[in-house]
Amino acid sequence: MTQTSDNVTWLTQEAYNRLKEELEYLSGPARTEIAKKIEAAREEGDLRENGGYHAAKEEQGKQELRIRQLTQLLQHAKVGETPPDDGVVEPGMVVTIAFDGDPDDTTTFLLASREYASSDVETYSPQSPLGQGVNGKRVGDDARYELPNGKMASVKILEAKPYQG
In order of start, what are the domains of the chain with their CATH numbers?
2-79 (1.10.287.180), 93-162 (3.10.50.30)
Identify which of 49-53, 63-67, 111-115 has the greatest average pLDDT.
Answer: 63-67
- The Cα-based distances of 109 to 44, 77, 121, 162 in angstroms read 48, 23, 6, 11
Residue 74 · residue 16 · CB < 8 Å: yes
DSSP code of residue 113: -
CA pair distance 134, 152, nearest whole angstrom: 13
pTM attached to this predicted model:
0.58
Convert the pLDDT of each residue in 45-63 to its tens digit.
Answer: 777 778 888 899 999 999 9
The pLDDT of residue 137: 95
Q: What is the rounded average pLDDT of the residues 116-143?
A: 86
> Does residue 149 have a pLDDT over 50?
yes
The pLDDT of residue 42: 85
Q: Label residue 1 by pLDDT band (50, 70, 90).
A: very low
Q: Label residue 2 by pLDDT band (50, 70, 90).
A: very low
The pLDDT of residue 8: 56
CA pair distance 44, 49, nearest whole angstrom: 10
Nearest of 117, 155, 106, 107 to residue 135 by alpha carbon? 155
Q: Label residue 163 by pLDDT band (50, 70, 90).
A: confident
For 10-36, give one letter per residue: b (16+ CB within 10 A) or e: bbbeebbeebeebbeebeeebeeebee
- Rounded to a whole number of angstroms, the distance between the first and last alpha carbons of the chain is 9
CA-atom Rg of the chain in angstroms:
21
DSSP code of residue 111: E
Least confident of 31-40, 86-95, 117-126: 117-126
- Sheet containing 106-111: order of strands: 123-124, 106-111, 93-99, 152-162, 142-146
